Structure 1
């Protein structure tokens, strides 16, 4: 059987990560994977997470199965966090199911779409998160794209609305709630209002991927767009990740949320998600969900977590501003202005795949082929070196290598 298997494609991000691991140059810089790193280059365990884990260990609760929806207290806490607690708000017509991280939520919701309307078209941005299309197509869905950026590198409001006029009723449009991956380009609140109006008028269903809330403009500000859509549309899907804002990458903590017009439709969707989970992995892991629940349900821990999240966001913002300033000083003013407008963990460099290859080979700076770099992974003292490398690629081919700092 296995002899009949043709060579499958490998994952491009992990290929680059392995290549970085084999690179012996001391100046090498890994900006490929989407993880937060502190000034020392470490992805830290948040203090609030450590304290929550200590409390959980001291309680030594049972390891019994939680059920197909996972940790019910976690699901309730995530609904409150994402949709708010206002009486009569959208959370009252929503249900949540714990998942294996945000990617698991994307897949469960994709399966729900396919089960509800086989052959549904899901629209994704161009460019999009690298795993959006594979997840959707693996679930049996058709995928179409809509533009995202204008010629100046900002959000293309008119272009997006024009493209989405071709979305049919009951098509699904996948939108990132904040800190767009890979571009770092987000709609303004007025743009989100226009998208909500387009959804209501066109009858398409918003599918929000929420992975970076708290790392753009602040936790509440980053959730405004999701809450705006939820208040305006009859049906909506939300995939939530706790990897970035809780630093729980390897614990794989996420949540799939469905909003419907009636209680019956929401309960049916919740059961369908449970059934899909049963066939894929049965039940999600408990530890990370218990950590998040402990933090969100304790006022002191929640405040400590919010404070740490603000520090992370401030560092990302400072990194981007510093990189833009250095690029401007090196004569790359247009690129610096574009970079400075972006937000979140990622930014897109104005470089073609062959330029990114040159950046890697000549300057030992690793980003994705598409031009995405992880702003959250740059040690501050390496920013001048990074700027010199980018400017070197934008300049002549015989540009000097950056000084190692």
Structure 2
């Protein structure tokens, strides 16, 4: 049965982590994985999560299934988190299912699109998260790209993006990063979001919003601005969200797939199909992480504590962006890296070439993805001097 299988290509980020772990250099730095790390290099459990977990352990009375959609209260709270007090919620046009992480949400969204139009095309930004194309293709979708990042000028290639979106057939879907674009860190500003939303309405394509880092950019509300504006403008859309980063629940695998229907009846029909997609994929979503998020969002005290802890993570990432730029200047680097301080979220492109990336790895044990994408959350005041000195030497 398996004799014809071929070894698949190694995942570039996971492969980098394997090399990093085998490296004996005490000064080694891993800038590949997309997880938050504190100043000590740890990915801590948030205090609000610990309190919620303790509460659940003491009060949970059953491990019975909750159904394919997961907890109704969790789904309600997630819809409110990403959409706020939006009219689509008041009009009862939103339906949400709990999923195994943001990746699970993307897979459910992809299969839902494929049910609506088998072999449909979804457009993703160039560049985009490395796993987007694989998830969509595995669900039977065709994948095409639209321009997004200008590698030369280290900026958003917005004019080219708009021109490309104008040509997209109305039967296609378009994936948009709601905030903290992965991997570039370049986000649309409010005026640009307005143009994209109006264009989506005029052209008729279906927007798919991926919001994996809400709260890691400019704050929970600001990071959801484009998503909510899109909901103001178009009649239907799909939203894929994750609690991995902003709640620190990586291994608990908790996300959500939400749809906005043109009407209550349309939303009910789409939701029924979405539930069927879930049923034939993993049947029931994991419940533990969802229960923790639900507990936090149902408690004003825990929600307030979460906001404080989330701000601490956001501020640390922003501070490391600024410090990286300052330290490169301090080390005598004349190339302009100021764009890093203007970006949002955990990621940025250094803009160095493959030889320089390999030099950093071989000579200085600094591990960077081949595209030159770095996770800013992997930086700390304890390693920033070593990193910037090493970059200065390879430029």
Whether the aligned pair in 1 keeps the contact of 2:216 and 2:314 (CA below 8 Å) is yes
1:242-257 alignment runs, 5 A limit? 242-257=243-258
Please show how residues 309-324 of structure 1 align to structure 2 within 5 Å. Answer: 309-324=310-325
**Native 8 Å contact 1:83 1:91 kept in 2:** no
2:327 maps to 326
Query: Cα distance 1:169–1:86, how it changes in 2: closer, same or farther (>3 A)?
Result: closer
What's the offset of the Cα at 1:258?
Answer: 0.5
Q: CA–CA distance in 2 between the matches of 1:278 and 1:192? A: 35
CA–CA separation in structure 2 for the residues paired with 1:24 and 1:244: 29
Identify the residue that residue 355 of structure 1 maps to in structure 2: 356
In structure 2, what is the equivalent of residue 367 of structure 1?
Answer: 368
Q: Deviations over 1:166-185 (max 9, x none)?
A: 21112111011000000111
Residues 69-148 of structure 1 aligned to structure 2 (within 5 Å) = 69-86=69-86, 92-148=92-148
Matched residue SS, 2:155: coil
TM-score with structure 1 length normalisation?
A: 0.95
Secondary structure (helix, strand or coil) at the match of 2:92 reads helix
Counterpart of 2:303 in structure 1 is: 302
1:180 corresponds to which residue? Answer: 181
After superposition, residues 201-280 of structure 1 pair within 5 angstroms as 201-280=202-281
Residues 231, 392 of structure 1: alpha-carbon distance in 2 compared, 3 angstrom cutoff: same
Alpha-carbon contact 1:84-1:91 (below 8 Å) kept: no
| Worse-superposed segment, 2-11 or 301-310 | 2-11
Partner of 2:24: 24
Distance, in Å, in 2 between the alignment partners of 1:321 and 1:271 is 47
TM-score by length of 2: 0.97
Tell me if the contact between 1:90 and 1:259 (Cα under 8 Å) persists in the aligned partners.
no
Give the RMSD, CA atoms, in angstroms: 1.3
Change (3 A) 1:53 1:91: farther
* Number of equivalences: 394
Change (3 A) 1:368 1:6: same
Distance in 1 (alpha carbons) for counterparts of 2:205 and 2:117: 13
Q: CA deviation at 1:348?
A: 0.8
Name 1:35's counterpart in structure 2.
35
Output one character per residue of 1:21-75: Cα deviation in whole Å (capped at 9) or x when no partner. Answer: 1111111101111111111111000000000001101103210000010111100
Decide whether aligned partners of structure 1 residues 65 and 359 sit closer, same or farther in structure 2, where only a CA change above 3 A counts: same
Alpha-carbon distance in 2 for matches of 1:92, 1:351: 49
Please give the secondary structure, in 2, of the residue aligned with 1:167: coil
SS of 1:381's partner is: coil
Question: Counterpart of 1:380 in 2: which secondary structure?
Answer: coil
Encode CA deviations 1:130-164: one digit per residue, 9 max, x unaligned. Answer: 00000011111111111112342121221110111
Corresponding position of 2:65:
65
Cα distance in 1 for residues equivalent to 2:81 and 2:293: 11
Rounded Cα–Cα distance in structure 2 between residues aligned with 1:327 and 1:149: 23
State the alpha-carbon separation in 1 of the partners of residues 17 and 306 from structure 2: 30
Residues 93-151 of structure 1: CA deviation (Å, up to 9, x unaligned): 11000000000000000000011011211110111100000001111111111111234
